[in-house]
Amino acid sequence: MKWMALVIFGGMGLTALIGGLMWGARRVALFRNGVATQGKVVANDESSSTDSHGRTHVSYYPVVEFQPAQGGTVRFKGSTGSPSPDFETGAAVNLRYNPKNPQEAQLTNFSQFWLGPVAITAAGLIALFLGIGSFLVMGGDDKGFAGMRTAMERQLLSSQKDAVRIEGRIREVRRKENGRYVFVCTARKPGADFEDEFESDSFNFDPGTEYAGRTVTICLDPYNKGSYSVELGPLLLEIVRKQSR
């Protein structure tokens, strides 16, 4: 089962990493060799999508027109959407375009020009790291696979923009009935006057008590009460390195 985790997460991570780097290389080439000019936002294209919980999310993409040096008018849509329009219709915007192919154009602000490649590359690195970490710390039974699936769901929660993030601390290590171990963390939810317990993803070994008191970030799902994710962050890297020695 450890190999399955490595193949699933590692494969997804490597694919996303390569895709993000290639996308980034194209943007670097456009930034270096493209012609800088100004255009005008003529519309905001509305796009909706539904997530795994049935929630509908609406994004707005700027539609821009500009006149390249060759003459004529070129229209293109921004590559990054946002929950509300970032640009008003009629606004003047800076952009770069490929002089050999003016249809290859992009706004030069960070969210439109760099955010896509950076986000995909970062997601690839996270998935690749998760695959390697799972390979090192997971057991080989079906419960380990179920734990991997839960870890993936929690990872998705951590990436949600609207997740509620609170600060917690590791209190102790708890041994579960299946022989695996979790960090028990405590934190106070917004508006609460007491602390709740939150369990991290499980390990197939005892990580030790030396991490008690360390600070962690806990992500709460605003749409699903009781759903949360404990972000160990750099601490997970410490644990993996210690285990691999």
Q: Which of 102, 117, 132 is the last residue of a domain?
A: 117
Count structural domains, the chain: 2
Domain residues for 213?
140-244
Q: Which residues contact 67 (CB under 8 A, 6 or more apart)?
A: 37, 73, 74
Is 112 in the same domain as 153? no
Domain holding 59: CATH number?
A: 2.40.50
131 occurs within a structural domain: no
pLDDT digits (tens, 9 = 90+) for 69-105: 989 999 999 988 888 899 999 999 999 999 999 999 9
User: Exposure of 71 by Cβ count < 10 A (0-12 exposed, 13-18 middle, 19+ buried)?
Assistant: exposed
Strand 215-220 vs strand 164-175: parallel, antiparallel, or unpaired? antiparallel
1 occurs within a structural domain: no
Is 217 in the same domain as 144? yes
Is 167 in the same domain as 219? yes
Of 75, 104, 204, nearest in space to 144 by CA: 204
126 occurs within a structural domain: no
123 occurs within a structural domain: no
Please say if the pLDDT value at position 142 is more than 50: no
Query: How large is the average pLDDT for residues 111-124?
Result: 85
Is 156 in the same domain as 227? yes
Cα 152 from Cα 10, distance rounded (Å): 13
30 occurs within a structural domain: yes
